[in-house]
Amino acid sequence: GQQLNQSPQSMFIQEGEDVSMNCTSSSIFNTWLWYKQDPGEGPVLLIALYKAGELTSNGRLTAQFGITRKDSFLNISASIPSDVGIYFCAGRGRVGVQGAQKLVFGQGTRLTINP
């Protein structure tokens, strides 16, 4: 089935540093999404990307939809303590005869920030 490879699996950085993570897939997706999950809660949507080459920002977060539609990256600039958490990429694509939308997640990147 469709799988997403997300890297790195974990990051340990100093407060104020920039962060970069990415996802790749063997399949083409028509939407890429980035989520953040805090302990004990479900993932929360950060950024949604709808077309190849799209570059979108949300405050200190910037994400891009790869031209091949098989990859995406997320950058966080000037990290702060509240950025700590697990970040997931997700691809959304049509599967099956009925073209049902399916959402598949990457393995996650655990971000730890040293003050």
Partner 1 sequence: NAGVTQTPKFQVLKTGQSMTLQCAQDMNHEYMSWYRQDPGMGLRLIHYSVGAGITDQGEVPNGYNVSRSTTEDFPLRLLSAAPSQTSVYFCASIPQGAGNTIYFGEGSWLTVV
Residues of the shown chain interacting with partner 1 in the complex, contacts defined by CB under 8 A: 1-4, 6, 9, 31, 33, 35, 40-43, 45, 48, 50, 88, 90, 92, 96, 98, 100-108
Give least dist CB 90 to partner 1, A. Answer: 8
Give least dist CB 17 to partner 1, A. Answer: 23
Q: Report residue 66 CA to chain centroid gap.
A: 12
The smaller minimum CB distance to partner 1, of residues 47 and 113, is found at 47
Q: In angstroms, what is the C-alpha Rg of the chain? A: 14
Residue 18 contacts residue 77 (beta carbons within 8 Å): yes
Give least dist CB 25 to partner 1, A. Answer: 13
The smaller minimum CB distance to partner 1, of residues 9 and 68, is found at 9
The 3-class secondary structure across 50-94, one letter per residue, is CCCCCEEEECCEEEEECCCCCEEEEEECCCCHHHCEEEEEEEEEE
The smaller minimum CB distance to partner 1, of residues 80 and 95, is found at 95
Q: Residue 11 and residue 103: Cα distance in Å, rounded?
A: 25
The smaller minimum CB distance to partner 1, of residues 15 and 101, is found at 101
